[in-house]
Structure 1
Amino acid sequence: MDTTLVLLTFIICYGFIMTEKINRAIIACGGGLFLLVTGIYDLDLVFLEFIDWKTIGLLFSMMILVSITSKTGVFEFIAIKVAQSVQGKPVPLLIVTSTLTAIGSAFLDNVTTVLLFVPILLTITKLIEVPPVPYLIALIISSNIGGTATLIGDPPNIMIGQAVNHLTFNDFLINLAPVALFILIIILFGLAYFYKDKLSITSLQQENIMQINPTDYLKKGPVLIKSVSVLLMTIAGFILHPILHIDLTSVAMSGALLLMLLTHKEHDAEEVFKSVEWVTLFFFIGLFMLVGGLESVGLIDEFAKKIIYYTEGDLPKTALLILWTSGIFSGFVDNIPFVAAMIPVISEFQSYGMVNIDALWWSLALGACLGGNATLIGASANVVVAGLALRAKEPVHFMEFVKIGFPVVIVSLIISTTYLYFRFLIFF
């Protein structure tokens, strides 16, 4: 009975989220609250296990950093510089911004990267008078592909890296970055071809962009220096995470608090807190509660165990099944709890006689990270971009994204299948 109730609640909430008739934060939190009052789980379980407060804290802190920094005009300055570097041409701009997003997502993390890039993209598209949604969709897709390449790029990789002691930062870079780069190139060419007729500007608009002086947008003064300095220090903290061993959320919170202290005279704390994307944060909380319901009745764990049953312990079959199931599953349910359920299952494979199971870890990482591109709630970065776009009155609609994202996932998984087979599985 509990299993049916949880599954039905999840499906109904998911349906309402897809239709976008009611605010998604209300739907997600409402579904989570329903599971709470019906006794599926208790409040202690929700606050101590299901809600990932590290993710919430990271998002909250980065929103504060970006909010204060954006008031200095530095994002407009960067936006104009980027637009001028491609002479204001929309399609090359899409490729350049997506590539920069992928690189940033690999060496920071994709949530932080999109928080930094969305204000820049919205500014650029407004300047050259083109629709921002294609750029935002490309931003989401490239952030998830870029995040696949390293240990710190995407939460699933961080979880796998923490669970498997012998896999280092360089192991992720060597084994995942080549296929992530190849997928990025293929997908960017596909997106450029798909959007080439929808993104165009006149020669007069192009000329106007080239005549803008980027420095006119900068509000020079102490706040600019403080904001950029703290933001760069925070980013440096992310990059040095493997060396410093300081949690990413702790780095972000320290940066946000420091910047608020340094700029409290210029920017009142209450005004700063008003600029936080509260809808996005509460949507995350509700989503964690909904997925926690699936976890509490054992649905995710049962799904993971079925993989072992159907493959009978054969390594190539197991690796490819993990890749595809995690890829498809992660598109519709946040990939974090799925990866959490799969880690102990894969670890058990060694007791069944499998000697080298690294291929299984790479399958899980590729599937979970790349599968997040299927829908707007498949990965944390997707939800953040959608929230920022909605606040800017440039919404990315659920089905509009699925029409692009789902084919991208299928292509990505086909490429990953080929890569895994010839790199790791051909000799088994």
Structure 2
Amino acid sequence: MLVSISIFFIVYILMVTEKLDRVVAAMLGVAVLLLLRAMPYETALESIDLDVIFLLVGMMTVVDILAQTGLFEWVAIYIAQRAWGNPLIILVGLLAATAVLSAFLDNVTTVVLIAPVTILITQILELRTTPFLILEALFSNIGGTATLVGDPPNILIGSRGGLSFNAFLLNLAPIVILCALAVFVGILLSQRNTLKTTGALRARIMKAHPAKAILDPWRLKRGLTVFFVILVGFSASRFLNVQPGIIALSGALFMIVYTKSSLRASMEKVEWETILFLMGLFMLVGALEHNGLFREIARHLFGLTQGHLFATSMAVLWASALLSAFFGNIPVVIAMIPLVHSLIDSMQGQMNLHQSPDLLNAYVAYPLWWSLALGACLGGNGTIFGAAANVVIIQIARRNGYKITFKDFLRYSVPVTVLTLLLSSVYIYFRYFIFSPL
């Protein structure tokens, strides 16, 4: 375990300080782990989340084909005109759209779709692009927390905890809406005097004709047809028992054929640096999971609460948030789920709730499961490496000439993460303890 921890933190420091390119640092760390046999080769491969990789490759291909038609220029002009060229209204609108889309698609797909539009709007109005992109990554994670399908940790919790789509919606949507509104207020207070553009630029955007941005109507119609089929596939993925990544990749290949696009040109536009970086990150964290780091941390933490349900719920919330911020929320959730199960079983015996499954859920299981979901999803906002959407938005920014440093990201992420976790703590206390059925 010591070897994998040491290598992870060395790589982490190299990435944070930017002494070495992030992709090189991550892949070099994986190579050292494998050479030192700190993790079996098979385990390294198994730790890569292929669904995320396929989803990214597929959606990046789809976005590139649609971008060639002028669609994103049209959307950018349309949004800017509907907001009268007001930067603050545009920002709030983009963030609201990001949160809503993330709840019903997934946060990675959402940022891949929203980022190109955002970059175009900020370029047209000569605004700083990086705050928009960082906040969109944060809102994609906030919005994705609301539903079963919005964030990979929720899919894992729902599957292994036996929780339905409606259960997620009824229990998490209220606090997600509250968190989003609170962050909106913070943005309005902090950005109202900084987000400004000139009257000349606003006048120019109002005179623009969105229809002239469309370069290839024939390919656009065909591309949008396939795109909507992909979206329907995402919404039905659980019923079809097909992973979203497979749907995205299959849809992208079909779009290439149907729009008569070039496979080679489309593959060249995929952010392969992002793909390699995520694969390296998955394997680095996989080594920590393989060596039992997360299990040990969680076991010691839960031992401190001594069976007190509210204290345990808060421990789950804040520990999963802190761990997710630094190690990524997917492996943290995988490690925490068995511990939550064992806690539920032990408390079921203590409270003699064997014959009352409804009361068990309401009083014991729900506080713990929702604490884990909120901690992992919202804690993923803590650093660049906390969630896949964060990594993707950073790489998209870099490819378009915008550099977002670790410090830049923290300037926005820390206040948002702390605020949303505090609100979540209050929500759990009042909903499941003050207004508890027992």
Q: TM-score range by the shorter chain?
A: over 0.9
CA deviations 1:149-175 (Å, max 9, x no partner) are: 00000010010111122x110110010
The match for 1:34 is 32
The letter for the 1-side match of 2:200 is L
Per-residue deviation, 1:331: 0.9
Please point out which of 363, 366, 370 is paired with 1:358. 366
State the distance in 2 between where 1:95 and 1:400 align. 20
CA deviations 1:247-296 (Å, max 9, x no partner) are: 211211121111112134xx321111110000100000110111011112
The match for 1:275 is 269
Q: Any conservation in 2 of the 1:138–1:191 contact (CA below 8 Å)? A: no
State the distance in 2 between where 1:208 and 1:236 align. 37
State the distance in 1 between where 2:146 and 2:391 align. 21
The match for 2:69 is 72
**Which stretch shifts more, 395-404 or 219-228?**
219-228
Please point out which of 94, 99, 102 is paired with 1:102. 99
CA deviations 1:155-203 (Å, max 9, x no partner) are: 10010111122x1101100100010011001112212322233321111
The match for 2:412 is 404
State the distance in 1 between where 2:53 and 2:285 align. 16
CA deviations 1:308-362 (Å, max 9, x no partner) are: 2111122111111100111111111111011001111111123313343121000
State the distance in 2 between where 1:237 and 1:220 align. 26
The match for 1:340 is 334
State the distance in 2 between where 1:394 and 1:270 align. 26
The match for 2:355 is none
Matching of residue 420 in structure 1 with residue 425 in structure 2:
no
Q: Any conservation in 1 of the 2:329–2:386 contact (CA below 8 Å)? A: yes
CA deviations 1:134-161 (Å, max 9, x no partner) are: 1101101111100000000001001011
State the distance in 2 between where 1:30 and 1:134 align. 31
The match for 1:161 is 158
State the distance in 1 between where 2:381 and 2:326 align. 10
Q: Any conservation in 2 of the 1:118–1:385 contact (CA below 8 Å)? A: yes
Matching of residue 369 in structure 1 with residue 366 in structure 2:
no
Segments of 5+ residues of structure 1 without an aligned counterpart are: none
Please point out which of 278, 284, 300 is paired with 2:278. 284
State the distance in 2 between where 1:263 and 1:92 align. 35
Per-residue deviation, 1:396: 1.6
The match for 2:353 is none
Q: TM-score, normalised by structure 1?
A: 0.96
**Which stretch shifts more, 307-316 or 175-184?**
307-316
Matching of residue 119 in structure 1 with residue 127 in structure 2:
no
State the distance in 1 between where 2:251 and 2:190 align. 39
The match for 2:400 is 392
State the distance in 1 between where 2:288 and 2:119 align. 36
SS state at 2:385 partner: coil
Matching of residue 224 in structure 1 with residue 220 in structure 2:
yes
The match for 1:58 is 55
The CA RMSD measured in Å over matched residues stands at 1.3
State the distance in 1 between where 2:344 and 2:382 align. 32
CA deviations 1:200-259 (Å, max 9, x no partner) are: 111111111100001111023321111111111111211233443332112111211111
Matching of residue 144 in structure 1 with residue 141 in structure 2:
yes
The letter for the 2-side match of 1:210 is M
Q: Any conservation in 1 of the 2:135–2:412 contact (CA below 8 Å)? A: no
Q: In the TM superposition, what are the counterparts of 1:275-314 in structure 2 within 5 Å?
A: 275-314=269-308
State the distance in 1 between where 2:144 and 2:18 align. 28
Q: Any conservation in 2 of the 1:40–1:296 contact (CA below 8 Å)? A: no
CA deviations 1:368-427 (Å, max 9, x no partner) are: 000111111110100010010000011221111112101211111110000000001234
State the distance in 2 between where 1:20 and 1:261 align. 40
SS state at 1:419 partner: helix
State the distance in 1 between where 2:100 and 2:196 align. 26
Q: TM-score, normalised by structure 2?
A: 0.94
* Equivalent residue pairs, number: 422
State the distance in 1 between where 2:242 and 2:291 align. 34
State the distance in 2 between where 1:87 and 1:158 align. 39
State the distance in 2 between where 1:101 and 1:108 align. 10
Segments of 5+ residues of structure 2 without an aligned counterpart are: 349-359
SS state at 2:384 partner: coil
SS state at 1:88 partner: coil
The letter for the 2-side match of 1:371 is G
